[in-house]
Amino acid sequence: MKTKRGAVKAERVFTKKKHRTAAAAVAGKIVSAAAVAAFWLGLWALLALRTGSELLLPSPFAVFGRLVRLAGSADLWKATGLTLVRITIGYAAGALAGTGLAALTAWSRHAFVLARPLGRIVKATPVASFIILALVWIPANNIPSFIVFLLVTPIIWDSLRTALLETDRRLLEMASAYGFGPGKTIRHVYVPSVSGQYVSSLLTALALAWKSGIAAEVLCLPGISVGRRLYESKIYLETVDLFAWTTLVVILSVLMELLIRASVKRFTSGREGGADD
């Protein structure tokens, strides 16, 4: 009985220490991120002070103040919402298409030979050329999603295909020896082997999705969009607004990246918990 109580007490002490260690790690990351942000914001403020003209380089105080004021208007929320929807649609479609192509071309050499020229053309052609060509065929409101889809697909495709082909053959042989079916092999061999590279490609593609999506909006000017607001800020020399809208894009991109990381972490934890059970 005493042994059992001692074991329970030791487990509680260990759990508390574990929680404290995790809390300390999170606090350390927050302090580190705050220090880095303070450094770059301070450098920005010094450069703005040195320049002495908001037309050339506004201060971070002016930019964030303008962003706060814009946040009180319906215009910002409408433009942000529509831009977010366009980029998310293109990104999700590109990720699904890239994943499907990777699986198909890793499984079939003939499919890879047939599809490879298309992938090379997409990667070699300037984004502006695709946007201008798309203006002939596609409504302006749909072009950003199309451009994002077009650029995200080959990134996911190349990275995931390489990871699939590099899966350890010994693990596949072991799965075959234990009588794993296709579903079980994918779940227990391929997914753990490719997950790291797949997540990395998703994050790389996300950054490109925002850049290409906003660039498409700037060139094709949908009715309501962040890209149109950036274009108008440039045309009317409203540099503070230009920086404010750009800051908003950076914030949205970072938030989406954090969301993807959290989703992947939760999925991975769920799989590990299921395996333990």
pTM attached to this predicted model = 0.82
Domain boundaries, position 101: 58-276
Q: Has residue 77 got a pLDDT over 50?
A: yes
- For the chain, the average pLDDT equals 85
pLDDT of residue 65: 93
As a whole number of Å, the end-to-end CA separation of the chain is 27
- Is residue 115 located within the same domain as residue 145? yes
- Is residue 113 located within the same domain as residue 143? yes
Contact 202, 153 (CB under 8 A): no
Segment 13-24, tens digit of pLDDT? 555 555 567 677
pLDDT of residue 185: 82
pLDDT of residue 179: 79
Q: Which residues of 176-213 are buried (b: 16+ CB within 10 A; e: fewer)?
A: eeeebeeeebeebbbeebbeeebbebbeebbebbbebb
Q: Has residue 277 got a pLDDT over 50?
A: no
Mean pLDDT (whole number) for 77-85: 94
Contact 221, 231 (CB under 8 A): yes
**Alpha-carbon distances of 135 from 141, 155, 200, 228, 263, rounded to whole Å:** 10, 24, 32, 15, 35
If one counts the domains in the chain, the total is 2
- Is residue 108 located within the same domain as residue 189? yes
CATH number at residue 77: 1.10.3720.10
- Is residue 223 located within the same domain as residue 92? yes
Ranges of beta strands (E only) in the chain are: none
Which of 30, 51, 72 corresponds to the end of one domain?
Answer: 51
- Is residue 11 located within the same domain as residue 85? no
- Is residue 148 located within the same domain as residue 34? no
- Is residue 112 located within the same domain as residue 44? no
Segment 212-224, tens digit of pLDDT? 999 999 999 888 8
Mean pLDDT (whole number) for 157-167: 90
Tokens of 165: 């082909």
Phi, psi of 240 (to 5 degrees): -60, -45
Name the least confident of 125-129, 224-228, 236-240, 246-250.
Answer: 125-129
Which of 29, 51, 73 corresponds to the end of one domain?
Answer: 51
- Is residue 90 located within the same domain as residue 133? yes
CA nearest to 127, candidates 146, 147, 98, 142: 147
Which of 51, 68, 85 corresponds to the end of one domain?
Answer: 51
pLDDT of residue 4: 53
- Is residue 242 located within the same domain as residue 219? yes
3-state secondary structure of 181: coil
- Is residue 203 located within the same domain as residue 73? yes
pLDDT of residue 239: 92
- Is residue 3 located within the same domain as residue 79? no
- Is residue 218 located within the same domain as residue 108? yes
